[in-house]
Chains A and B, each alone.
Chain A
Amino acid sequence: MLSWSLRRGIWDFITLAKFAFAKPVKIERPPAELERIHPKPMSQAIPYVALHKVMACPPADIPKDERSWHSIVYRIQVRAYSVYSPMQRGLPLISADPQLALKKAFNGLRRRSFHDPELPAEYLDSPDLGSLAVRGPFACYTRRPRKNAPWEWDLRMLNKYEHHPGLVNIGSRVLFREDPVRRALQAYRIECALGNGKIEPTDPEWDQACKIALCAASTHLSLVRHFNWVHLAGGAQLAIATRNSLATNHPLFRLLWPYIFGTLQSNDMVTRGQMAPGGDFETTFSFTYTGMCKLFDDTYEQYQHSVNDPETDGNSRHVRGASFDTPTQQNLEELFDVMHHFVRDYLAIYYPDTKAIRNDKEVMDWLDELNVLLPKGFRVSSKTVTWDELARMLAGQLYLVTVQHEILGSCMWNYQLWTHRQPARIYQDFRPEPLDVYQRLVNANYILNVHRRALMHNFDDLALDHRAKAAMLQFQTDLAVLQLKMDSQPHAVWRICPRDLKVNINA
């Protein structure tokens, strides 16, 4: 245990130092000229990250304006994985008492620098999957394939990917029925690796099946929806296309600049730290390095920009207009509406109609490049784009790096550390995680909460003229009004407020 104390102390210190030294980036006016970025498959950009379908900015192409000394720290960190790994074999298990486990893993200066995670009410008892299906980060999985079909979370696809030996396959499907009196969903069956494959609430394995379902959801959410889709697919390709296709004094460039700044540098650093062999993802979640890489490659190609439009997304999942309460859906729509309103105001300054947009070659080139870079492209192409479609798509881009990144990333602080309900990985005998796995999970989530530039910051000095400045100021006012509205409601752990949002995905 002495060697674990030393090992843990060093890695906790590194985490604390990263947290303490991370300051919100200053977003200045963009330089006049930008160098072109030539995206490459990740396996060429970072050879030890074997993703062949994921396109990334090669280290040599990382824009000068984004480069920082932080990347050196991450490179040293990756080296240290093999020299003095944060993992140690044969350690005891964490306490069965989640509060005690957390208290031991999140203590000292780290605990003073950031608030304790909140325990969602759904985790006070056997997890209420029905409530989680409409509140919080996992609400994005709730769908019904067609009318009159049962509501479900379907993550059976995770079984395709190689798991570490000794772990339970986490691919699973939860079926929900509507409870009209409670205006809620109620889970009535979980299809998973246990028993005869179909577990019901009266079965003794129900709690274990809930753990599998939540492990599947949190794994998919962290690896696929957060890192793969927000960082590598959506965020990176938006940054690359914007830098490559738009002049820095183009109105759309100025609109998007705060939202893309720092993305490429940050992605490079974080990919190294999390996806390297022996990195956070491989050592905390269920998948082997090979399984994880295959999952990333496969799901990268499934990314659809429409997930960044809660209205479209909600309609496609049939959640909008459902007979039960959908608080997270409403919350996300409120946030999107403010962004959409802002983009419409801003766009109207420079483009009176669709024709004006189609006459702007830079915008057309930008759309074309995004359509090439994004795995499934957009529904919006340069040939058919309308003013309304462009406004909605741009609002979706803002929403991607602000709201999506928040609900899938920092928000997980309040969910992912309660591994007695939502394990990061599941051992065959359902024992808790050993100390090193849990410690790494805590540290990885802690670092997701570094101080970053807030969305509710005035960026009007980036505006090209006074009309754009006015639109940006109005946006800040609208965010403040929404915040005020949310302030008049009791705090809820699942709710995302404008105050929580950061302007970009820069770590």
Chain B
Amino acid sequence: MGKMKLSDAGLLPVERATDVEDAGFRRNWWIGLTMLHTLFVREHNAICDMLYDAYPAWDDNRLFNVARLINAGVMAKIHSVEWTPAILPNETLETGLNSNWYGMLTYKMRNGKARKTLSEVNIRNPELGGIVGNPINRHHSPFGLSEEFVEVYRLHSLLPETLQLQRRGKKGTPKEEPLPATRQHGSVTITKNYAMSDLFYSFGNQHPGALVLNNFPRFMQELSVPGNPFLDMGTVDIVRARERGVPRYNEFRRQLGLNEIHSFDDLTDDTGVLAKLRSVYGGNPDKVEDLDLLIGTLAEAKDRRPTGFGFGETVFQIFIVSASRRLQADRFYTDCYNEDVYTPEGLRWIDRTDFNAVILRHYPELADTGLANIKNAFEPWDEAPVLDPKRHPLREWDADLKPDPWRGDAYRHA
């Protein structure tokens, strides 16, 4: 009732004509999408079971729609309070994003398990009481993802050249699978050979690429997309911004109220990068006004980014505004985030669910792995009793983990 279709093996159905998972789009399909789609279809179905128990008289359509709403709430929460802090591990940032969701009072005064998105006393202030559950605010403008947002979300450098596939509980060198081999039908082939839990295990143990220059995946520079000739996605990332009239890097910063750069030296000390920038854009004096937005943002040196940030301040300006506004302008996270729309059970489901719980709910065998050792499933799934602060920076200021934040979660029970 209300459920989405999965195969007997718990996988997405495969479309006969293309032999690719039938998820409604296929141009950029790859194993990562297969995993997340499978996971959240399973989550949807689990929510349907929960709703059906509570409301056996509901019809198929209502179960589907309310489950979809709750599932979307789970995803929005994970994106707000887990994924974003994981890529920008910084105490202020984490406080800010949790305050967006829960409100600062709840975030600071309740521990993790006891936090409720809608607290007992509703404070009608988005900072103190949270955006979610408070009145909608479109700031006098219809909400839509801006072109600027599209440009800063060009994060292709996060993709590695190869996936290191390994099986949980088995020692040995991971199998290096070129990422193109995981695309389209390749995804179906991989899920035939690897359990979904092994794929999550592999992803949990592999780092993404860094958002820096000279790290654009080679395979994306000669990318094959069904119905298109080979294309260089790196070029597309630059050209699209030019075509759409999105300002170049320096002007973009000025319009955001950030300091402009006067020379490429303001971006980085890396002599190799500086030489390349000057050879492409021209130096003496540096042609800083020609610098493309994507190139400039990737050139912002790690040591000049806010502490812990996976990307720099230019991208962050757009990110943070969108992260808040996409919640604040959506009635389902504001005016309609209530028991009438979501059901009390649905709100409780969202409060009690994090990414870790979603994965374990559907692949309980992963409770035996490093996933049990970490709080945020986007952290590396390290298994050691003592976690490396450099690899797990989020733990340093987590009040729930005091007094010993570096002790792995799986060892706290001992």
Contact = CB atoms under 8 A, between A and B. Distances in A.
A249 to B, nearest CB: 39
B365 A491 contact: no
B372 A490 contact: yes
Contact of B367 (A184, A493, A499): A493
Contacts, number: 87
A487 B383 CA distance: 10
A325 interface: yes
B202 to A, nearest CB: 14
Nearest to B169: A325
Interface in B164-200: 167, 169, 192-198
12 contacts: A118-B413, A121-B360, A121-B361, A121-B367, A125-B362, A126-B46, A184-B195, A204-B1, A490-B369, A490-B370, A490-B411, A492-B368
B411 A491 contact: yes
Contact of B414 (A97, A204, A491): A491
Contacts of A327: 368
A125 B46 contact: yes
Contacts of A182: 195-198, 365
Among B46, B196, B368, B410, which residue has the most Cβ atoms of chain A within 10 A? B368
Interface string A79-106: 0000000000000000011010000000
Interface size class of A (residues with CB under 8 A): 20 to 34
Interface of A: 96-97, 99, 115, 118, 120-122, 124-126, 128, 131, 135, 179, 181-184, 201, 204, 207, 325, 327, 487-493, 497, 499
Given A97-B348, A490-B383, A125 B361 contact: yes
Given A179-B9, A489-B383, A490-B373, 20 more contacts: A96-B53, A115-B413, A120-B364, A122-B364, A124-B360, A125-B361, A131-B364, A179-B195, A181-B9, A181-B192, A182-B195, A182-B197, A183-B195, A184-B365, A207-B53, A488-B383, A489-B410, A490-B369, A490-B372, A491-B414
Contacts of B372: 490-492
Given A118-B413, A491-B414, A181 B194 contact: yes
A327 B412 CA distance: 21
Nearest to B384: A488
B414 A499 contact: yes
B49 A490 contact: no
Contacts of B1: 204
B20 interface: no
B385 interface: yes
A135 B364 CA distance: 10
B150 interface: no
Contacts of B167: 183
A118 B360 CA distance: 13
B70 interface: no
A181 B195 contact: yes
B110 interface: no
A506 to B, nearest CB: 24
Nearest to B374: A490
A124 B195 contact: no
Tell me if A's interface is mostly helix, strand, loop or mixed: loop
B352 interface: yes
B368 A487 contact: no
Given A487-B414, A491-B411, A491-B413, A128 B9 contact: no
A181 B191 CA distance: 9
B399 interface: no
Contacts of B320: none
Nearest to B348: A97
A97 B349 CA distance: 10
B366 interface: yes
Contacts of B352: 99
Nearest to A489: B383
Contacts of A493: 367
B54 interface: yes
B357 interface: yes
A228 B52 CA distance: 39
Contacts of A201: 8
Among A122, A125, A201, A492, which residue has the most Cβ atoms of chain B within 10 A? A125
A293 B370 CA distance: 45
B366 A121 contact: yes
Contacts of B384: 488
Given A179-B9, A488-B385, A124 B369 contact: no
Interface in B218-255: none
Contacts of A184: 195, 365
B408 interface: yes
A182 B192 CA distance: 10
A456 to B, nearest CB: 13
B16 to A, nearest CB: 21
Contacts of A131: 364-365
Contacts of A124: 357, 360-361, 364
Interface in B372-414: 372-373, 383-385, 408, 410-414
B264 to A, nearest CB: 46
Nearest to B197: A182
Contacts of B367: 120-121, 492-493
A207 B51 CA distance: 13
Please provide the 4 A-B residue pairs with the shortest distance between their CB atoms, ordered closest to farther: A490-B410, A121-B364, A124-B361, A182-B195
B46 to A, nearest CB: 5
A120 B364 CA distance: 8
A146 to B, nearest CB: 25
A181 B169 CA distance: 14
Nearest to A134: B365
A491 B373 CA distance: 8
A182 B196 CA distance: 8
B54 A96 contact: yes
Contacts of A135: 365, 368
B350 to A, nearest CB: 14
B376 to A, nearest CB: 15
A325 B365 contact: yes
Interface string B333-374: 000000000000100100010000100111011111110110
B355 to A, nearest CB: 13
Contacts of B196: 182
Contacts of B369: 490
A332 to B, nearest CB: 15
A296 B243 CA distance: 81
A99 B408 CA distance: 24
A184 B362 CA distance: 14
